[in-house]
């Protein structure tokens, strides 16, 4: 059976404007809705309470209380209930806790990501004449992986390891270009400088960051925030990096599919000459 959020996603574009505002708010803040009254949700969505009720019925629910109960049933457990790794755990227990945490993180991202922002990101990348992918440190490794994917679709793209090259590349962009900016904290000064230069050049900025309301987020045309719980505080943002890569993978697949439908995709296959059978 489909989750209530999946149902809302499938019908969001067919709703009237006011009802769509409710749906967008529920998709954006599902955990908040669980704890909110109908009056609070109506105020946040800038609609009337009867509109909230009409939205619930359009989604196949009996009413607002049914919406809250369905969300509580479908959403993963709150972050504070996650089990964390400690130094006394056995290797097997660490394996179990880490993979369970990763599974929960991906489920949380799926249920909380702003689907309207994600769709906008897909449209921007699909229409771009060039994309630059910015990231430093661990995010730089993910930027390289993303570059490899988008390169194979035939979209001209660049990524850089050096902060000065980021700035030079950013200055050469134009309004037909898009920057994918990757950062866990969204506060790297080198990244912010490069994004500022790209923005001044007219490029559109898509930020994928682990921190809501970060300096990076304030510069972006589209922000995909990833609030993730780590399996242990002393590990280096493992779950956030996993979520970052998963969202990038989803973005890549959506862009590749969209370009293929329009006849603009160039899916580059690995030549037979470098396949395993010939090595």
State residue 273's pLDDT score: 44
**DSSP per-residue codes, 95-162:** HHHHHHHHHHHHHHHHHHS-HHHHHHHHHHHHH-SEEEEE--THHHHHHHHHHHHHHHHT--EEE-SS
State residue 80's pLDDT score: 42
Give the pLDDT confidence of 14-48 residue by residue, as tens digits.
899 999 999 999 988 888 898 889 999 999 999 99
Architecture field, domain 115-261:
3-Layer(aba) Sandwich (3.40)
Give the pLDDT confidence of 100-123 residue by residue, as tens digits.
777 777 877 777 778 888 999 999
Give the pLDDT confidence of 51-91 residue by residue, as tens digits.
999 999 999 999 999 999 888 887 765 444 445 677 788 88
Percent of the chain past pLDDT 90, that is, above it, reads 42
DSSP code of residue 216: H
Each domain of the chain, given as residue ranges in start order, spans 4-74, 115-261
The more confidently predicted of residues 137 and 273 is 137
CATH, range 4-74:
1.10.10.10
> Is pLDDT at 236 greater than 70 in this prediction?
no
Write 221-226 long-range contacts (CB < 8 A, 24+). Answer: 221/120, 221/124, 222/117, 222/120, 222/121, 222/124, 223/117, 224/113, 224/114, 224/117, 224/118, 224/121, 226/109
Q: What is the C-alpha to C-alpha distance for residues 54 and 59, in angstroms, rounded to an integer?
A: 9
Beta-bridge partners for 223: 207
DSSP code of residue 270: P
> Is residue 179 classed as helix, strand or coil in its secondary structure?
strand
> Is pLDDT at 230 greater than 70 in this prediction?
no
> How big is the chain, counted in residues?
279
Global model pTM greater than 0.85 = no
The more confidently predicted of residues 240 and 84 is 240
Cα dihedral 160, 164, 168, 171 sign: positive
> Is pLDDT at 216 greater than 60 in this prediction?
yes
The more confidently predicted of residues 32 and 172 is 172
Write 66-72 long-range contacts (CB < 8 A, 24+). Answer: 67/4, 67/26, 67/33, 68/33, 68/34, 70/3, 70/4, 71/4, 71/5, 71/26, 71/30, 71/31, 71/33, 71/34, 72/34
What the block records as the tokens of 118 is 């994600």
Give the model's confidence band at 168: pLDDT under 50 very low, under 70 low, under 90 confident, else very high.
very high
Q: What is the mean pLDDT of the chain?
A: 83
Q: What contacts 52, CB < 8 A, 6 or more positions away?
A: 22, 38, 41, 42, 45, 64
Beta-bridge partners for 181: 134, 207
> Is pLDDT at 178 greater than 90 in this prediction?
yes
């Amino acid at each position: 059976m489909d989750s209530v959020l999946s149902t809302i996603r499938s019908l969001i574009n067919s709703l009237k404007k006011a009802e769509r505002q409710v749906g967008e708010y529920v998709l954006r803040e599902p955990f908040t809705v669980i704890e909110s009254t109908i009056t609070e949700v109506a105020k946040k969505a800038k609609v009337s309470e009867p509109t909230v009720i009409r939205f619930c019925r359009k989604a196949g629910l009996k009413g607002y209380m049914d919406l809250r109960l369905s969300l509580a049933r479908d959403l993963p457990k709150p972050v504070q209930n996650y089990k964390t790794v400690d130094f006394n755990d056995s290797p097997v227990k660490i394996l179990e806790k880490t993979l369970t945490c990763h599974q929960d993180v991906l489920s949380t991202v799926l249920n909380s990501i702003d689907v309207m922002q994600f769709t906008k990101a897909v449209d921007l990348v699909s229409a771009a004449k060039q994309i630059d992918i910015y990231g430093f440190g661990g995010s730089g490794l993910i930027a390289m992986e993303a570059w490899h994917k988008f390169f194979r679709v035939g979209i001209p793209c660049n990524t850089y390891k050096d902060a000065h090259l980021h700035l030079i590349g950013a200055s050469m962009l134009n309004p037909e270009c898009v920057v994918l900016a990757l950062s866990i904290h969204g506060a790297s000064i080198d990244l912010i400088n490069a994004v500022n230069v790209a923005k001044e050049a007219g490029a559109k900025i898509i930020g994928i960051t682990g921190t809501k309301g970060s300096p990076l987020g304030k510069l972006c045309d589209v922000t995909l925030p990833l609030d993730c719980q780590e399996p242990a505080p002393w590990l280096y943002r493992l779950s956030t990096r996993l979520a970052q890569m998963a969202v990038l993978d989803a973005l890549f697949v959506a862009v590749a599919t969209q370009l293929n439908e329009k006849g603009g995709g160039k899916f580059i296959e690995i030549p037979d000459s470098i396949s395993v059978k010939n090595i």
